[in-house]
A and B are shown apart, each in its own frame.
Chain A
């Protein structure tokens, strides 16, 4: 059937360019549709990755471990032994990339002029860097040097609110392990700036050992944050950790931040729906154009049959014609989408809507991200549905009765 194949192909190709203007118009529609699919998918993918990244960066990590009542009541009393043997053993897992342990308690901060309530976090700076946003967000001064660092890092917005600045002293007040009020003076050694205002106003950071001293404890923490090599393993590893440490409370990022999880899932499912909507508009155009060209060529199809070509060949010819059209449209659409994403560079700045974005767990710059999965989905929707819908005009062409087709001039 090789000779028929090449005949089929060359007939389809030439017929495609017979009505050049019509072909270009429908091609433009396909390219536009494919472009819209991929470009929008890239935006949604960028948003959902941004949400995920921000969620994980904001002290959450992939997995967190707490004492069992801590999440309900995050106070000093709900702490746990860091150097517990079983815990130590279970954290020695090759899938775990990084671990940071923290003391995390409510506190009151006071400058010379103002005071406010917030969360004090004691960290080991070396373990913390890479797990959370802090080190990369320092805009003035320095990051903490070691667990014994007695300086404090506060948010820039908080500094404004307290009417203080880098190098000045503040006082932190909290409850120690015996529920007695304890306080200590700190020098502000660094200011951090994030896109989430709540984070900037609500958290201050000091060395882990310094906070232990303040609270009068040793070797105990309120939180362990874990980063994995592969985020897809999160449920498996969390379950393992929970089983190995039944007295503790192991939670994944999606359990800790259900809203983020919801947003990520929503974007994921919206891709397909969006593709289908765009295709619906495009599909009507394709079928309509093909039907038009089939009607115009009624006589020709009769002629084909009188020459001894079978209905299947005629159907194939129209179908191949539309598959060629789709393929060209897909290629160009993908190319344009890729170019447009390149043109957006780092992403688009949505700070004009920043307040709303913050509610949606988003930061100000949304990058456009093309991943192969999204590309495959968009292209599959167009090619598979396109092939199916063009069967109709093709079938229509093959159904003509030759005598009728020929006499219809």
Chain B
């Protein structure tokens, strides 16, 4: 098994005027391809910060972050954009979709940026939306979809071009338990079918149960890192 993400001595300190906040302290982590990881921990423990570092949305104060063999912490804006476009899919807690685009257009947008042909885009986006259970809703705007449906579109968009890594920051936080469980099942199925690596941050015990590996953060440090079932 190859390593998709590797963090070495990663520290993140936020400075706000004179106040320093240590968001992450000496994080060391290796994540294998095809893993389905749950990142848990209390509020403020640094889950979002870690995901943002791995996805190159923010840069560490010190340490190395390697994604698919590339040093993310040393990349410039444009290289990071390329990396996110081709190798990483994101799902956030809410407001994941571009409001002026329909469900299908939101999915196709990523494909369009990759230069996929129109026919391929259409075929593929319809297929993936069907896979996440949104057949018949392809042409709805985000405002015409429920929270759970919007999250499904976000998942569809994140995985449509088969990135090696999907980062999901509390994707179920705004959903009821039934919808949350469905979304989790969906992501796990997708991970298995398409052989992608998922890292999902959450407070939700339900989510933790479905993880292959559970990583617990506390005050910016990893306190537990266990394989499950």
Residues of A within 8 A of B (CB): 3-4, 7, 11, 14-15, 18, 299-300, 302-311, 401-403, 406-407, 409
Contacts and interface: CB of A to CB of B under 8 A. Distances in A.
Contacts of A15: 100
Most-contacted residue by chain A among B55, B78, B81 (CB, 10 A): B81
B85 A308 contact: yes
Interface stretch (B61-69, B87-95, B203-211): B87-95
Given A14-B100, A307-B90, A402-B58, 20 more contacts: A3-B112, A3-B113, A4-B112, A7-B112, A7-B113, A11-B100, A299-B95, A300-B99, A302-B57, A303-B92, A305-B84, A306-B55, A306-B57, A307-B84, A308-B83, A308-B84, A308-B88, A403-B52, A409-B94, A409-B95
Interface of B: 48, 52, 55, 57-58, 77-78, 81-86, 88, 90, 92, 94-96, 98-101, 109-110, 112-113, 115, 157
Nearest to A297: B99
Given A15-B100, A310-B81, A305 B113 contact: no
Contacts of B96: 303
A356 B157 CA distance: 72
21 contacts: A3-B113, A3-B115, A4-B112, A7-B109, A7-B112, A11-B101, A14-B101, A18-B99, A18-B100, A305-B81, A306-B57, A306-B84, A307-B90, A308-B82, A308-B88, A310-B77, A402-B57, A403-B58, A406-B57, A409-B94, A409-B95
Contacts of B88: 308
A406 B85 CA distance: 17
Given A299-B95, A303-B98, A308 B57 contact: no
A310 B81 CA distance: 6
Contacts of A303: 92, 95-96, 98
Given A4-B112, A7-B112, A310 B78 contact: yes
B102 to A, nearest CB: 10
A306 B157 CA distance: 12
Contacts of B90: 306-307
Contacts of A305: 57, 81, 84
B51 to A, nearest CB: 10
Contacts of A3: 112-113, 115
A15 B100 CA distance: 7
Contacts of A406: 57, 92
Nearest to B55: A306
Nearest to B52: A403
A180 to B, nearest CB: 94
Given A4-B112, A307-B113, A300 B98 contact: yes
Nearest to A404: B58
Given A306-B84, A307-B84, A401 B58 contact: yes
A311 B57 CA distance: 13
B191 to A, nearest CB: 20
A401 B56 CA distance: 11
Which 8 pairs show the lowest CB-CB distances between chains A and B?
A: A308-B85, A403-B58, A14-B100, A308-B84, A403-B57, A402-B57, A310-B81, A403-B52
A308 B157 CA distance: 12
Residue among A299, A303, A308, A309 facing the most chain B CB atoms (10 A cut-off): A308
A308 B112 contact: no
A300 B99 CA distance: 9
